[in-house]
A and B are shown apart, each in its own frame.
Chain A
Amino acid sequence: MSFINYSTKEINCKIVYYGPGLCGKTTNLQYIYNKTAPEAKGKMISLATETERTLFFDFLPLSLGDIRGFKIRFHLYTVPGQVFYNASRKLILKGVDGIVFVADSQEERMDANIESFQNMIDNLKEQGLSLSRIPYVIQYNKRDLPNAAPLQEMRAELNKDSVPDFEAVATKGIGVFDTLRAVSKLVILELKKQR
């Protein structure tokens, strides 16, 4: 959950990138890191295996700027996507303020997307959270691949709640900031609602 400090005038929120293995969660963060001005970002941390698969999480602190005198800071995290890291995924979801679900558009990864989406719902439920109460957006990544499933099909499977969704090619940065902007907006509006 967010942390509001009236003394230092700061608001900190946590956004988690979720999705199946190799869907491009880390790539999203890397692109954001590379394209953000040095003064607006902290160091990106990747706890990864030797083969660059995420082992625990990636972490990227961003400061977005000021709203009404309060500094808005977002902490972006990715979960490890591989199925057997579920214990770690649960930990990263703790205290989440907003979620980006990154789906892999390749036809043959559709089952993995659906499984990961369900896994996210289950892991949230375990903490007494539900997707209906957490701001989230969906990103259909790897749209440039020849074996990408039709958008309509992906929407029908993954976006039953009709949340904001985006087509992306994270390696080239297409759709990456649109996704981040959308989820940030939802998170801030949610804070407003809560108060």
Chain B
Amino acid sequence: MTIPKPESIRSILATDCGSTTTKAILIERRGEEYRLIVRGEAPTTVEAPFEDVTRGVLNAIMEVEELAGRKILDGEKIMTPQSGTQGVDLYISTSSAGGGLQMMVSGVVKSMTGESAQRAALGAGAIVMDVIASNDGRLPYQKIKRIRQLRPDMILLSGGVDGGTTSHVAEMAELLAAADPKARLGAGYELPVIYAGNKDARKIVEERLAHKTALKTTDNLRPVLERENLTPARDMIHDLFMEHVMAHAPGYRKLMTWSPVPIMPTPGAVGLIIETIAREESISVIGVDIGGATTDVFSVFQGVFNRTVSANLGMSYSVSNVLAEAGLPNILRWVPFEISEHDLRNRIKNKMIRPTTIPQTLEELIIEQAISREALRLAFEQHKMLAVGLKGVQQERTISDTFEQTASGETLVRLDHLDLLVGSGGVLSHAPRRAQAALMLLDAFLPEHVTELAVDSIFMMPQLGVLSTVHPKAAKEVFEKDCLIRLGSTVAPVGPGKEGVTALRATLEFPDGRRETLSIPYGYLKLVPVPEGQSVKAVLNPDRGLDLGAGKGREREVVLKGGVVGVIFDCRGRQPFTLPADRERRISKLAEWNEALDAYPVAVKV
């Protein structure tokens, strides 16, 4: 099957097989531009009783057919190319079903090649189950036992700079060979192992692993200490994901024959889109995709892309793990009404065992959104820990400095430098009111100074990510016009303050020349409607202990972009942000903030 020429493509059908839901979108060329026409979805069918991913894909496409009033399927086959008003010119897909791509990575020094290998795997869209390194503190037999237990889909072995010592790499290869690891899916195929370490050790690695695993070799991902070269390893992960892993997941062999474009792991596709926004607008971006099983965080700061996945933080399969990791009090702190621990615990577990259900009552919706704040917060904490720079790259230094600086890598993620925060995933994209999504993002990420907020309208970043590899124009047009919903800007002064005392004075100048002066007390939220596509000029004067990016108490002039929610002045405090300890005060404060943003249909009763 060949990929049609971009200019000849009139219609595109794209699916994303998530762990819970399979989403299908139909894109058509209307005049000179590409637009989203409809979206359909159906439960993913990787699991029993179907055990065939294509069932869910067909169901989602059937829904697209019904909604668009257009025939796409001929029996159980997608009609390509488009003929008249039937069929489509291109079909593409991403997938994270069946637990996604689960990898184990290995390096020599945990914080150096180990970390680089981890970043390469994460960037390719994998879940990293463990990082095994010479200096990870485990005894050899413990490492071997661990490798055996894990049963990953793939292993990435790295270590050493080119031309360096080979003995540690050999040691890691020997451990792997001794463990004789087996692949997760299907006993009948050899586990793919990618070697991306010291090129001088290739032969040694081959001798030890080639007869026991499906070994592939690629360029060293850390050729010199000061530079990472992750792309070859990432590309190889994608290739092997298709060749080995996907081919053994139920129904994927069939699905792969439907598309001329390789199936991409969902997070890898979302990462592509986030990188593109950051590059084209020259801004710092954080993107988050909260799914049923996992939460992915992507960031681009100083031009460096990072992705992490929190494998067990999600809103359905992993919802109970959010409770286990965050603790009940942290979830309850976001719930603006009384609920017993006993009741909440049972509700969360019932969602875990029936992951595809949705909130029917307002109370249930608010609880789910409370849980999501904690899942997002925890995933972001994990991201900050891994998104660290290659230390001291641009500094003149001796080799001893290199080691010193490696031990103390600072996070690249700076909330005070963040320009755009994009949310994606069911709980954010499908929040009945966009203000709910804005508030979830604010509460979980606590952006500082001035930041723009956006959500993926109907959760189609994965499909657009894979589309961007074959038709960048169509991907960009749909992304800007139909996918990204700009919620508005937020202004959040940093520093401690006293409840009720004026924290910020702002003078706003609207496009029609109207001027408005605001005074917002500490501990309050204030929403100023500014529609999407419009901006206001603002002169911001924080109180003397507070900083908006120009220094404590210093005036700052900015342009604030509007959005479907508007401009949110968040004077609830940063560093620290605290919720009242007293239960009644906390509940009344939450209700007040919800009301300030008109987040829910009726005021939630205390």
Do A and B pair up? The answer is: no
Residues of B within 8 A of A (CB): none
Residues of A within 8 A of B (CB): none
